[in-house]
Structure 1
Amino acid sequence: MSMTLSRQQRFRRARASVRAVRQFVGDTLAEWGVSERRDDIKLCASELAANAVLHGVPPGREFSVRLAREDGVMWIEVRDSGPGCPVVQQPDPDAQSGRGLWLVRALADEFEICDEGVGKSARAGFKLV
């Protein structure tokens, strides 16, 4: 029998929320006793949150972050209500930005962006031993 642990929280459209997301993810992982890949998971969570704040969340709206542990995989999902769908691009070595989704895709075992009708969600999965 597999048990799913899940926790979700909403965050404001503000740069400070990226740090708050990282704290939420770190605290949740610690509470659930997940130590493996913690740095990768926290880094990807903050990259997805930063992407939502900078590109996805309409002014005055919030975004949600959901963590779920199911069947040996830790999922981080960031959902916003903004239009458009982000594209993972090969980063330009000289660029100051543009590496977030590329980094998430490189670190995570699974990565997908889903159209949610209103907005979208970005999900990254990390296999745990």
Structure 2
Amino acid sequence: MPEVPFVPVHWRFPAHPTSVRRARHAVAESLPQVLRPHLGDDLGLVTSELVTNAIRHGVCGEGEDLIELVLWPADGHYWLAVSDPGTGKPELAHPGADSESGRGLILVDSLAAAWTVRPRPTRGTSVIAGLSFRQRG
């Protein structure tokens, strides 16, 4: 008999800066206690960066936009998808030393084992990042 997979955890938050903290907290609380010391900080930072980017760059500004998060374990990783209604494709930037922004995806790229950007089937974009939950040696 095949192993039954975990059901992904799903959240929706308003496209508002206060949602960054709420999203980070929700993701951290959903991790099994045993994984929090190994994965909690990195996953929290990835969550913060992706939700912040979604709010800044992926909303239409109509006041009712939502940011969606899905978290699930698979293949030795915790996968986080952050989706927004925008149609843009986030890309790695290389900001100058004096720049005050533009480093979010650089952080995601350095922490995640893999990440990608995918269009959503109906409307919007998802950024998906996977962080290994195998103990680091």
Same fold (TM over 0.5): yes
CA contact (8 A) 2:9 2:71 kept: yes
Look up the match of 2:28: 26
Instruction: Please say if 1:86 is aligned against 2:87.
Output: no
Gaps of 5+ in 2: none
Write the deviation string for residues 16-45 of structure 1: whole angstroms up to 9, x where unpaired. 0001111111111146x4221210111001
Instruction: Please say if 1:111 is aligned against 2:112.
Output: no
Write the deviation string for residues 24-83 of structure 1: whole angstroms up to 9, x where unpaired. 11111146x422121011100110000001110222210101110112110011011112
Structure 1 residue ranges (4+ consecutive) displaced by more than 2 angstroms after TM superposition = 1-5
Distance 2:119 2:97 in 1: 30
- How do 1:3-22 residues align onto structure 2 when only pairs under 5 Å count? 3-22=5-24
Instruction: Give aligned-pair identity as a percent.
Output: 34
CA contact (8 A) 2:23 2:47 kept: yes
In the superposition, the TM-score normalised over structure 2's length comes to 0.86
In the superposition, the TM-score normalised over structure 1's length comes to 0.91
Amino acid at match of 1:42: G
CA shift, 1:2, in A, is: 6.3
Secondary structure, in 3 states, of the residue corresponding to 2:52? helix
CA contact (8 A) 1:91 1:102 kept: no
Q: Which has the larger radius of gyration?
A: 2
Instruction: Please say if 1:40 is aligned against 2:42.
Output: yes
CA contact (8 A) 2:87 2:119 kept: no
CA contact (8 A) 1:2 1:71 kept: no
Distance 2:116 2:4 in 1: 23
Distance 2:109 2:92 in 1: 8
Distance 2:96 2:27 in 1: 29
Secondary structure, in 3 states, of the residue corresponding to 2:8? strand
Given candidates 101, 126, 133, the residue that maps to 1:121 is: 126
